[in-house]
Structure 1
Amino acid sequence: MNRRCKEALFMKTRLKATALLAGAFCCLLLPGGCADKPSESMAPDPIRIGVTLYRQSDTFISLLASNLLDCAKARETQDNVKITLNILDGTGNQGTQNEQVDRFLAQGYDAICVNEVDRTAASVIIDKARAADIPVIFFNREPVGEDMQRWQNVYYVGSDPREAGGMQGRIVVDLYDENPASVDRNGDGRIQYVILEGEPGHQDATLRTESCIAALTSAGVDIEKLASEPANWQRAQASAKMAQWLTDAQLRDRIEVVFCNNDDMALGAIDAYRAAEIPELPVIVGIDATPPALLAIQDGSLAGTVRNDAQGQAQAIFDLAYALSTGANPQEAVPMLDGQYVWAPHSIVTIGNVMQEYG
């Protein structure tokens, strides 16, 4: 039983006792006893949910946050309740995010949702939340398994990076199978590629990269890695890294595929080609299916992406937080919940389906 439920039970018991005493006192004073009167309804306290983001400037995270707000507004209307959804930007600083979590806990929020700056910091957050009896939902950046086991009121909502990477690789395999020359442009029988990765050591970056390459090798496609650089999920950094590669004429002319761990970096790679005034782009693929990436698929500059369901994840995050705040059953609120985890499925987006599904 969380803090809100305990408080509600205490208030219910206290109000009942007070009403009984008042009724007895009324009957003692008035000769005719007490006439029944309707009691005034007490407006419920607002549900307060705190959200802290690793970096709100991240396009996918910003989209997810916007969807969270939509979920809260819809539930307010549906249940006729007041919901305070306080979304804060961690600005890529774990110290800042820790302070934000501390404020949520000190102010007695009903649930907190954390998109970690550093996934190894989860244990500290979990221990503080457990001491305050306030449930925690991590999202988008998965804590290590040992930390998830520290308390039963800890949950994670996200997607499988292995699945995302595998689907990204599948996009290139399908293009190659359909028309080898569209990918293997120098005709040497192998695909030369570069990779723009997320943060060094970040689990999703590592697993997306590994699974992407594994998809090609398992399909029997001969590949050659030319270069890889971290661009920390950011479009500007990816553009700068790609621009450096393009200054090397020998490397530039050999790049046939640019794998990017997310769409922002894929768009950064496209920016670099355009800035260098190179008209023919290699095959560039991303992950997330953000609105700018979908537009890039439509104009032909992005070969494809993997949909990371921001709306579905936001709905699961909010439904979990709301259920935990009100004492409802989390499993009934989020049927996809598997123990402490909610895994959102991915899907491939290319020119073949972008207009039908997302146009």
Structure 2
Amino acid sequence: MKRISLTFSIATLSLAILLTSCNPSPSSEKSEGDGSKKLVVGVTMLSMQNEFIVNVNDEMTKKAQEAGIELITVDAERSALKQVEQVESFIAQKVDAIIMNPCEVEASSPAVAKALAAKIPIINVNSETSAKPSAFVGSDDVESARIAMKYIAERLGGKGNIVMMDGYMGQAAQLKREQGAREILKQYPNIKLLANQTGEWDRAKAMSLMENWIQSFGPQINAVFAHNDEMGLGAVKALTDAGMKDKVIVVSIDAIPDALQAVKKGTLDATVFQNAEQQGSKAIDTAIKAAKGQPYEKQTLVPFQLVTKDNLSKFLK
């Protein structure tokens, strides 16, 4: 009886191994028509309530469809903690590559370390972390603020008072745009920074902040520099309601459609074009190459451009 039992056990084990080999793991179930595995890329975005970020994501989605890869896109809702958890989930799902639009320079960095430890390439798009990812695709945020502040300084004739609306505190764009703005201000000792405070990239919060500054400083304000268009447009609304817009220069960054229309109307004096389409497209290109083990650029910088009424037609669609 013992010999029969042993024979049965071996036969059962052999059958189990055969059945297991016929059932692919979750990571290999999706395949192309030619039998090759379909690439899966996990994407975590800073906030899908931000129009520029949505534009970057839309281009990534379009590019991914053209390339025949699957995107798993999630919204970090401005939470670095949530973003790290989302990357941990992508790692557990064994995605082929990760694209992260970081919430914060420091607090989102553990996500980079975790992905690299799992040997999954991770590409930062639009914003940076202190931890070095596999690649970065974006623009030089210091330069964007230099362009904006230089324009303001020249419009003011090198003399006047400004207020500055910061982005989400601790995010790379906020830190670098403040750095660039202050670099230019050092060159113009007769321009005074009356106040700077975060508007959290948000139009409504920026409008409220501008209303407070109008109460505090009134006609002393000669110009507003907002780290993004959403906040710039919030400032424009508050100044218009207070009957002050004609006397105050407002410049912001991103060149989203609403901002371009505001430049056309003359309510927003200028914006700085940041190319969402190129950032999104190049992020996908980089992720595909990294996932396939092909050579790729470790850093891709897309240039900024000043947009005024003079060259607006180049940017209107």
Count how many residue pairs are aligned between Structure 1 and Structure 2: 286
Equivalent residue of 1:287, what SS?
A: strand
- Scaled by the length of structure 1, the TM-score of the pair is 0.74
Aligned to 1:318, what secondary structure does the other structure show? helix
Deviation track 1:240-269 (CA, whole Å, cap 9, x = no partner) reads: 100112234xx1111110011111110110
Aligned residue number for residue 236 of structure 1: 204
Q: Distance in 1 between matches of 2:125 and 2:250?
A: 27
- Residue 300 and residue 323 in structure 1: after superposition, are their counterparts in 2 closer, same or farther (change >3 A)? same
How well do the aligned residues superpose, as a CA RMSD in angstroms?
A: 2.2
Out of 129, 139, 156, the residue aligned to residue 136 of structure 2 is: 156
Distance across 2 between alignment mates of 1:234 and 1:193: 20
- Matches of residues 1-359 of structure 1 in structure 2 within 5 Å? 42-76=34-68, 83-144=69-130, 147-148=131-132, 154-176=134-156, 180=157, 190-218=159-187, 220=188, 222-248=190-216, 251-278=217-244, 280-330=246-296, 337=297, 340-359=298-317
Q: How far apart, CA to CA, are the structure 2 residues paired with 1:211 and 1:97?
A: 27
List gaps (5 residues or longer) in structure 2: 1-20, 22-32
Letter in 2 for 1:290: I
Q: Deviations over 1:191-213 (max 9, x none)?
A: 11111111334443233223224
Determine if contact 1:115/1:139 at 8 Å carries over to the other structure. Answer: yes
Q: Classify the secondary structure of the residue corresponding to 2:209.
A: helix
159-168 vs 189-198, greater mean Cα deviation: 189-198
**What amino acid sits opposite 1:343 in the alignment?**
L
Change (3 A) 1:105 1:279: closer
- Long gaps (5+) in structure 1: 1-13, 15-40, 77-82, 181-188, 331-336
Question: 1:303-340 CA distances to partner (integer Å, 9 max, x unpaired)?
Answer: 1111111111111101001112223222xxxxxx3xx2
> How far apart are the structure 1 equivalents of 2:313 and 2:159?
31
The code of the aligned residue for 1:200 comes to M
**Cα distance, 1:217–1:121 mapped onto 2, change above 3 Å:** closer
Whether the 8 Å contact between 1:281 and 1:301 is mirrored in structure 2 is: no
Structure 1: distance between partners of 2:110 and 2:196:
33
Alpha-carbon distance in structure 2 between the residues aligned to 1:92 and 1:279: 31
Structure 1: which amino acid aligns with 2:299? Y
Q: Is the 8 A contact 1:305 1:348 kept in 2?
A: yes
Alpha-carbon distance, 1:297 to partner: 0.5
> C-alpha separation between the residues in 2 aligned to 1:208 and 1:52?
23
Scaled by the length of structure 2, the TM-score of the pair is 0.83
Give the 3-state SS of the residue equivalent to 2:70 in structure 1.
strand
Q: Indicate if the aligned counterparts of 1:273 and 1:281 stay in contact, CA closer than 8 A.
A: no
Instruction: Give a deviation string over 1:30-49, Cα, whole Å, max 9, x none.
Output: xxxxxxxxxxx743222111
Distance 1:241 1:123, change over 3 A: closer
In 2, the alpha carbon distance for the partners of 1:201 and 1:118 equals 5
Q: 2:144–2:304: 8 Å Cα contact kept in structure 1?
A: yes
Quickly say closer, same or farther: Cα 1:103–1:161, change in 2 above 3 A.
Answer: same
Give the Cα–Cα distance (whole angstroms) in 1 for the partners of residues 98 and 228 of structure 2.
26
Instruction: Give the share of equivalent positions with the same residue, in percent.
Output: 29
Specify the structure having the higher radius of gyration (Cα): 1
CA contact (8 A) 1:173 1:221 kept: no
Report what 2:24 is aligned to.
Answer: none
What corresponds to 1:184 in structure 2?
none
Q: Using the alignment, how far apart are the partners of 1:228 and 1:139 within structure 2?
A: 26
For 2:119 and 2:261, how far apart are their aligned partners in 1?
44
